[in-house]
Amino acid sequence: MTDLLVTNGRVITQDTNRTVIEGGAVAIEGDEITAVGTTDELGSVHAADRVIDAEGGAVIPGLVNPHTHVSDILLRGSFAEDRGLLDWLYNVKRPGTLAMDPDEHALAATLYCIEAIQSGVTAFVENDTEVLWDDWSTIEAKLGVYDEAGIRNVYGAGMVDRGADAVFQELVTDIQAREDDVDHPPLETFVEETDDVIAEVDSLIETYDGTANGRQSIWPAPVVVETTTNRCFREAYALAEKHDVMTTAHVAEAEAQEQRDLSSIEYLRNVGYLGERTLLGHCVQIDASDIRTLAETGTAVAHNFMANMRLATGFAPVVKMLDTGVTVGLGTDNSILSDTVNPLSDVRAMAGGHKGYHRDAGVVDAQTAFDMITRDAATAIGRAESLGSLEAGTQADLAIVDLDHPHLTPSKDPVFTLVHAAQGFEVDTVVCAGDVIMENREIQTFDEPLDSILSRASEAATDIADRTGYK
């Protein structure tokens, strides 16, 4: 018996052939897609408990966001934007997120999930880089919200086991002088003994990976090269192998942090961290040799275009990565840099940005760009067989995008339309693991009214800014 049948849509399957089915349908049983075809074909053989008519809409795979940050969404729009990476990190993000209590982190997670769902996202990888491992209350508060939201999340458990050297400490002190009134957490705040942080992450994976009916996953996530020992990188990869998950880290994001004789990519290869279980965020400051190493080791990359542009950290060589065979997914990164968690908004900017940067209108075409938020993003997070396409046997994660808008008309090629014209608010319906999470723009999984959530978020944001003192 078919539980759900989506009919009469332009089904963008994202299968190997990138098949688009006009007047298409998707049949779902439990949490799995059982058939994809025309409405005439499926309607005659699938008696469904529930039918959703997608006429006038594009039926797409649920979008996959391979690199994002959640808690700092409550800091959005409350500080000066003329900041480089380290200024932003040490004068705004870390003071602000550390000032938040578990309830505020849960509120941030709620706001994040609402925006993500309304943007068609059904899976995201959170990089939690400010983890205090003596207490799981903040982590558990967010994981509880993700369970309630009904979409898939990967919690990247931040690992820091090496403190800053004297030169970097002096640099940060000079940067923090810009905001003397801010309560700056000491640089060693998040540093743990190697054995302790490995044990904590191992235990967190044992406890929560695979929960929420399989929608929850936990990855070991060394934060950056500068704060991670050789052993911690090796152990993080070993934990990923032990638990059959992946691992992720921020790499080569800004030139100021990458001035070393050995490139970050060479270093990670040498210590045994690169491989098919590794997803690297950013990879802005890398060269052709680094890119070949990524391809040879099967290491994936999360490209965070809008955040890198906002912080002016540089232009990641994504075209070269793609040409060399590196799997690249598009992440939204921090919600206070992108400044949304909306892949359809970011993909438009990313595709156009690379064309302009390379002075070549043929790079990052619409199909390649759309792959980066669907099937390639799913591959980047190790879910190529289950997410990112609409095919029999894949997970029942999809979104319906209403194409009946003036700015989306005419739409000869729906993939082109989605990449170069859609803005994200056109997402009408979202299904994850066979459950209808949003219908007619109304999210079904949170009991609290949206107006109340937005009001609480605004009040909390003001309070956090006042407590922290950044400008």
Residues 6+ apart with CB under 8 A from 203: none
Taking only the tens place, the pLDDT of each residue in 191-202 is: 999 999 999 999
Distance, CA of 391 to CA of 60 (rounded, Å): 11
Tokens of 292: 């070949």
Distance, CA of 137 to CA of 8 (rounded, Å): 45
Whether residue 281 has pLDDT greater than 70: yes
Pairing of strands 63-69, 57-61: unpaired
Torsion angle (degrees, nearest 10) of CA 405, 409, 415, 416: -120
Provide the residue count of the chain: 471
Collapsing DSSP to helix, strand or coil, 57 comes out as strand
412-433 mean pLDDT: 98
Tokens of 53: 């008519």
162-174 mean pLDDT: 91
Radius of gyration of the chain (CA): 22
Q: Which amino acid is at 332?
A: T
Percent of the chain scoring above 90 in pLDDT? 92
In which region does residue 201 sit, left (phi positive, over 0), alpha (psi from -120 to 50) or beta (all else)? alpha
Nearest CA to 389 among 9, 32, 54? 32
Q: Which amino acid is at 101?
A: D
101-107 mean pLDDT: 98
What is the C-alpha end-to-end distance of the chain, expressed in Å? 58
Q: Are 337 and 311 in contact (CB under 8 A)?
A: yes
Distance, CA of 218 to CA of 242 (rounded, Å): 12
Distance, CA of 42 to CA of 353 (rounded, Å): 40
pLDDT of residue 165: 87
pLDDT of residue 259: 57
139-163 mean pLDDT: 98
Q: Are 58 and 426 in contact (CB under 8 A)?
A: no
- DSSP β-bridge partners for residue 53: 7
Q: Residue 430 class from Cβ within 10 Å (0-12 exposed, 13-18 middle, 19+ buried)?
A: buried
SS (H, E, C) 264-293: HHHHHHHCCCCCCCEEEEECCCCCHHHHHH
66-72 mean pLDDT: 97
Q: Are 470 and 79 in contact (CB under 8 A)?
A: yes
Percent of the chain scoring above 70 in pLDDT? 99
Instruction: Phi first, then psi: give them for residue 197, nearest 5 degrees.
Output: -70, -35
Is the Cα dihedral 187, 180, 69, 250 positive or negative? negative
| Alpha-helical segments (H) within 383-425 | 414-420
Taking only the tens place, the pLDDT of each residue in 6-54 is: 999 999 999 999 999 999 999 999 999 999 999 999 988 998 999 999 9
- DSSP β-bridge partners for residue 250: 224, 281
Q: Are 61 and 390 in contact (CB under 8 A)?
A: yes
Distance, CA of 150 to CA of 16 (rounded, Å): 28
Q: Are 176 and 91 in contact (CB under 8 A)?
A: yes
410-430 mean pLDDT: 98
Tokens of 179: 């905001």
Confidence of residue 239 (pLDDT cuts 50, 70, 90): very high
pLDDT of residue 392: 98
Taking only the tens place, the pLDDT of each residue in 302-337 is: 999 999 999 999 999 999 999 999 999 999 999 999
Collapsing DSSP to helix, strand or coil, 63 comes out as strand
Distance, CA of 123 to CA of 276 (rounded, Å): 19
pLDDT of residue 255: 59
Q: For residue 60, how many other CB atoms are within 10 A of its CB?
A: 29
Distance, CA of 154 to CA of 157 (rounded, Å): 9
Distance, CA of 378 to CA of 375 (rounded, Å): 5
Residues 6+ apart with CB under 8 A from 251: 224, 225, 264, 265, 268, 280, 281, 282, 283
pLDDT of residue 189: 95
Q: Are 31 and 43 in contact (CB under 8 A)?
A: no
Task: Tell me the pLDDT of the chain averaged across its residues.
Answer: 96
What the chain holds in terms of domains, given with CATH numbers, is: 2-62+387-443 (2.30.40.10), 63-380 (3.20.20.140)
Question: Alpha carbon of 346 to those of 111, 167, 271: distances in Å?
Answer: 19, 36, 33
